[in-house]
Structure 1
């Protein structure tokens, strides 16, 4: 079509001089206001989780998100490059450490933090005396995977009838308990319940709370000592599972952080490589977008009826989910950034660019290797397919 478009170098010059400084300024201004409000609260409950820029243990970047779970807003995002910490495995711990130090420096008092069950994170928070709870979904997912394998064993098909109840039971255990021993007692009561026994020896939960009723499917009950019961008992009473059940989060979960991570994909798709500053600014943009739209109300029809959508998630293997349809997303942060760029940054970019230059940027991953002369490398190139 012979259209004239500006080149990539031109785009990078505009981004470096105007767009990136405006994004950093806008995010830090919003963050400072949010941190002032958090510092005024006596106790703050946050959730934390890391997202890597590629699957597996070969990630270059890891972004650790700290979210205020009471208001469902992203408070801080820390970007860690793998060569800063000696490998991808250590990025999550470093991101959490930086996030906690950042909140402490701004006077935010944490009541607790909700995370997954990463071993390094458990040890780090224990040594730092930070009260930690586990996200229920991560534990439920691990248990469900083990039980799916057990259901496929010969003679254990009956366990499949209990899968849905076990998943519901772990959420109820977390939400209805006030202490760790009570959570463990309720969790272990499931083994008695599946034998049609509804009184328990543990004083923290002496009896089931449901009413007395006759089951329509009497074949679903398990008998102690049988293969299905023994296999089920081995999974549910595993020492690590029981220990983790005692630390289930009773109030908030990290599902909102998972939603934010899906929003990040719109700004930093995993099949594109970004420089450190470019990745950081895109994370800030994603956080601004999420915080503006996290509290959107549910959409309604012309008659005023709430709108729902039925979906069939692949992971649920045929089970459907009913989801609320939200109103259309807004992009006021884009208008604010445009006003900032044209009214202030474009007029005098120096103070905004100086703020960006003060951001510590780690060296590239290849900087630790000796780079050969290009002509020498070309001359020594040999194809493995040469005869």
Structure 2
């Protein structure tokens, strides 16, 4: 039995994934409210931590609490009481430097003092705070021979507000202090932890017996909400305690302006580590110079150069933020250009992004040179290799292929057409062909037929055993298959056939008001067409079942004579419910007569053999959306670039067509719902695992190796490929372009400049007398 079928113990979870996420977010939000906010005293806290050579902030807090309790007990003379007035007193000689703190303090080894949640009560100035009996705590502190300075010397300046919350609280054995936050803590961010909501529980037993099993270094206080991961929390808040003085922090408007004037860079980690490990003396090492060195910065494309020079222009050291390829091409420029194309982006959008964040990148002309010289050829060779591997899987097998074409723009003004052939069972792309309208005498209506013919011949020339081709009902492709590929079965996409049938029914029902009752039966007629194509193997079987819809719609489920020898003379559905959502049609009425014309249409009946196998090209239609990612219809591309972007879409599809469905913890498939605006109903789909793009590193390596093996460079004469459409015509226009100056001179505007500057003054005070006609 598989692990999925094994039942887990306990009650089954009743919450959905969305409810679990909301509950987890609420719990984490509550937990984030209990974070310590040091405010402006954070730097002093960090300096104290470094001076005492402590590893964690908990150790710093422990020492401060130990100091506070020991000092209070020794000064008051009564180890069990603390005067509340002494808490609010300001130090007479506050310490402003951490070096003034007694550096002889050693890290105590006693466990942290017990400190539980504090409750808020109003108290007078003479209120006393009762503490627990020192017991082992005092003996532990007395073991240190160091001097414990006044607690006020290392406390923050915010001690004044704490006196408002001190109260007299009776305790036994363990110190329990309850306190709530005031307006200062309420105004703090919700992502901070309130230290008074943390609970530290330490037994009052013999400490010496636990020394072998307990270490203060391993001790960490636990909050009641610990153990939940906050996926929506800001990671910067969690890492703030690890920030040091060398990391810049932005707190004021002036610092924001300075930050926005700065520039991000594309820097490689190896270059940063190399710079960090390099020791550069501050003085020029040239004999007799000994002048101080200054750092000069220079931006070249996307790379930053640092030069250490003196006033005599002696170069002491030079550093670049990126590794350099042959002939001084920055690796960042090549990889950045490859990333733009391989991710389906466009240079202009990325250039705007870089401009907004002040990121220096390569210029447009350099990008086009890199794309033409290294990217497009590398993608083409990579696609040929991956295509050969796919075709090898079906070399000696009879295959059914799906075919569909896509224009780069709607209407009859398309310049490119890409035609894709997909294997029916595995849904892998076998080949993809792109053509320019200049290859079809600048007629875009002939592009799909030409692409289909070219792609099918490529597969047949590679000895692929194609037994059936499934396409949409394209007239030119249908005629081509009859004439040149009559030995191959040609089928139509059942989805397109059902859609066209539904359009006919809706159109007829809306033409005349009398045919409106037929509109309610449109979905049932389409579903019956799907049913007939699914159960039929011959044309006669299809007709015998298909004609039954004419009788069923008028509530007649048996008829006298069957329409074929293999079909019966009755409906094959079960008992019908007495409750009807729509009414029956009436025979010999306009809606029923219109239905008979649609069902018995001769042109429709001649297409029945194309639907008998009930094939669908739905997966191929989904692949067209992948092409939109790499070759959007809102951008124009050159022939080679458009072909490369379509090849990238095919590589992407083949690498991820076998993705598995995401499963929940209980083994069920994860589903996702979406609303279809066109269909007007909700639909659920399976959630696939995210794409990994495992082919990208290998493709990147192809591109870099092509640059390293190039002995000429990018500044070369552009030679068009033998099949490049630009060899036929420089433009797609039917006539050559005239000079630009002549076009500008012949340009005439319908608006005169004087008319644009003319204004009309209206006198709103002037009244107009109207004479109304009298009867």
Do they superpose with TM above 0.5? yes
Q: Does 1:142 align with 2:503?
A: no
Structure-2 residue corresponding to 1:259: 622
- The separation in 1 between residues aligned to 2:710 and 2:566, in whole angstroms, is 64
Could you tell me how far apart the structure 2 residues matched to 1:228 and 1:157 are?
Answer: 7
After TM superposition, which residue ranges in structure 1, 4 or more long, deviate above 6 angstroms? none
CA distance in 1, matches of 2:649, 2:743: 41
1:131 maps onto 2:486 in alignment? no
Equivalent position of 2:747 in the other structure: 381
Q: Which residue of 1 aligns with 2:652?
A: 289
Is the 1:136–1:170 contact (alpha carbons within 8 Å) kept by the matching residues of 2? no
Whole-angstrom distance in 1 between the partners of 2:523 and 2:364: 53
Counterpart secondary structure, 1:299: coil
1-structure distance, mates of 2:711, 2:608 = 53
**SS at 2:700 equivalent:** helix
State the match for 1:72 in structure 2.
427
Tell me, what secondary structure is at the counterpart of 1:269?
A: coil
Q: Could you tell me whether the CA contact under 8 Å between 2:431 and 2:455 is conserved in 1? A: yes
Contact 1:17-1:349 at 8 Å conserved across structures: no
**2:213 corresponding residue in structure 1:** none
Distance 2:711 2:527 in 1: 57
Deviation at 1:260, TM superposition (A): 0.5
Structure 2 residue 392 is the aligned partner of structure 1 residue 28 = no
Counterpart CA distance in 2 for 1:219 and 1:320 is: 22
Select 1:187's aligned residue among 526, 546, 567.
546
Q: Alpha-carbon deviation of 1:373?
A: 2.9
Deviations 1:300-346 (A, max 9, x none): 22333212222222221x2222222212122112122012223x322
Q: Give the Cα separation in 2 of the matches to 1:280 and 1:214.
A: 56
Tell me what 2:661 maps to: 298
Structure of higher RCO (CA pairs closer than 8 Å, 6+ residues apart): 1
> Taking structure 1 as reference, are residues 251 and 201 closer, same or farther at Cα in structure 2, changes over 3 Å only?
closer
Report 1:104-253 matches (<5 A): 104-128=460-484, 129=486, 130-152=488-510, 153-195=512-554, 196-199=556-559, 200-206=562-568, 207-213=570-576, 215-217=578-580, 220-248=583-611, 250-253=613-616
Match of 2:683 among 317, 321, 345: 321
> What does the per-residue CA deviation read over 1:83-138, in whole Å, with 9 as the maximum and x for residues that have no partner?
21131110010001001110111011211111111111111111021321110111
Return the alpha-carbon distance in structure 1 between the equivalents of residues 518 and 674 of structure 2.
26
CA distance in 2 between partners of 1:359 and 1:160 (Å): 55
Q: Secondary structure at the match of 2:681?
A: coil
Residues 150, 376 of structure 1: CA spacing in aligned structure 2 closer, same or farther, 3 A cutoff? closer
Change (3 A) 1:369 1:297: same
Is the 2:406–2:417 contact (alpha carbons within 8 Å) kept by the matching residues of 1? Answer: yes
Are 1:64 and 1:92, in contact at CA under 8 Å, matched by a contact in 2?
yes
Q: Is 2:472–2:496's contact at 8 Å kept on the other side of the alignment?
A: yes
Per-residue CA shift, 1:9-32, capped at 9, x if unaligned?
111122122211111111001111
Distance 1:350 1:107, change over 3 A: farther
Q: Which has the larger radius of gyration?
A: 2
Is the helix fraction higher in 1 or 2? 1
Is contact 2:533-2:542 (8 Å) kept?
A: yes
Give distance in 2, aligned partners of 1:313 and 1:249: 29
Q: 1:97 to 1:226 in 2, by over 3 A?
A: same
Q: Secondary structure at the match of 1:320?
A: strand
Shift of 1:235: 1.9
- Which consecutive unaligned segments of at least 5 residues does structure 2 have? 1-356, 756-775
Contact 1:22/1:341, CA 8 A, preserved across alignment: yes
The answer (yes or no) to whether the contact 2:380–2:647 under 8 Å persists in 1 is yes
Bigger mean CA deviation after superposition, 135-144 or 375-384: 375-384
Change over 3 Å in CA distance of 1:350–1:46 after alignment to 2: farther
Distance in 1, matches of 2:571 and 2:436, equals 50
Residue in structure 2 matching 1:345, options 706, 711, 715: 706
> 1: CA distance between counterparts of 2:600 and 2:515?
17
Question: Aligned equivalents of 1:188 and 1:49: distance in 2?
Answer: 31
Q: Is contact 1:134–1:249 with CA below 8 Å preserved after alignment?
A: no
Render the CA deviation track for 1:154-202: whole Å, top value 9, x for unaligned.
2333323322222222222222211233223322222122232245332
Q: For the Cα contact (< 8 Å) 2:543–2:563, is it kept in 1?
A: no
Kept in 1, the 8 Å contact 2:449–2:477? The answer is yes
Matched with 2:366 is 10
After TM superposition, the structure 1 = structure 2 runs for residues 39-78 of structure 1, keeping only pairs within 5 Å, are: 39-41=395-397, 43-78=398-433
TM-score, length-normalised on structure 2? 0.47
**Whole-Å separation in 2 of the counterparts to 1:100 and 1:382:** 50
C-alpha displacement of 1:44: 1.2
Q: String of CA shifts for 1:340-373, please: whole Å, max 9, x gaps.
A: 223x32222489x9xx965611024347522323
Name structure 1 gaps, 5 residues minimum.
Answer: none
Which of residues 674, 694, 715 is equivalent to 1:332? 694
**Are the equivalent residues in 1 in contact too, given 2:543–2:564 (CA < 8 A)?**
no
Aligned to 1:276: 639
CA distance in 2, matches of 1:222, 1:125: 41
Let me know the Cα RMSD of the aligned residues.
2.4
Cα distance in structure 1, aligned partners of 2:737 and 2:708:
41
Shift of 1:384: 4.1
